[in-house]
Amino acid sequence: MIFVDTSFWIAFRDERDTHHQRAKELMKEFFAARVQLAITDHIFAETHAYFVRSVPKRLQIMRDLLENPVVVVHSIDRRDREQALSWLTEYDDKAWSLVDAMSFALIHRQKIPAAVSFDQHFDQHFGQQGGFRHIC
């Protein structure tokens, strides 16, 4: 299983994004390997909001994230939110969003071994933690 961040979904579906080609290549690899992709409701909300002004893209995102059998949508629970808020307080020198921090908490709780993201915040949080792989 791989956690998929908003930055990846945007790059995958926005042809103008500087990481678009890399995102397409990685998605092809994920599908070929039959990798399960994990997101949260909040990742869906951020991605949907990015494409809200384009009806075709918005509908494509809904299909990609909500109707695709390889994508598993996880809900953030109270523990994840509390952990995220704790990290945001503790690491106040970082510009992590609440969605980033909640994603980190879910990744820890679910023991998801990898994340794909074009967001440097994943490297900031996970650093050199053994057993975790940040793709991109």
CATH number of domain containing 14: 3.40.50.1010
**φ, ψ (nearest 5 deg) of residue 78:** -55, -45
Quote the pTM value: 0.90
Can you give the pLDDT at residue 127? 66
> How far separated are the first and last CA of the chain, in Å rounded?
16
User: In which domain, by residue range, is 101 found?
Assistant: 2-135
From 62, 46, 53, 58, select the one nearest 8 (Cα to Cα): 46
Q: Residue 13 and residue 62: Cα distance in Å, rounded?
A: 12
114 bridge partner residues: 2, 133
pLDDT at 123: 73
Q: What is the pLDDT of residue 95?
A: 86
Q: Which two tokens stand for residue 104?
A: 């980190």
**pLDDT at residue 50 in the model:** 97
pLDDT score recorded for residue 7: 95
pLDDT tens digits, one per residue of 91-102: 888 888 999 999
pLDDT of residue 92: 87
pLDDT at 57: 95
Q: Radius of gyration of the chain from Cα atoms?
A: 14
Domain count, the chain: 1
The residue ranges of the chain whose pLDDT is under 50 are 128, 130
The pLDDT assigned to 129 comes to 52
**Residues contacting 9, CB < 8 A, separation 6+:** 39, 43, 47, 61, 64, 65
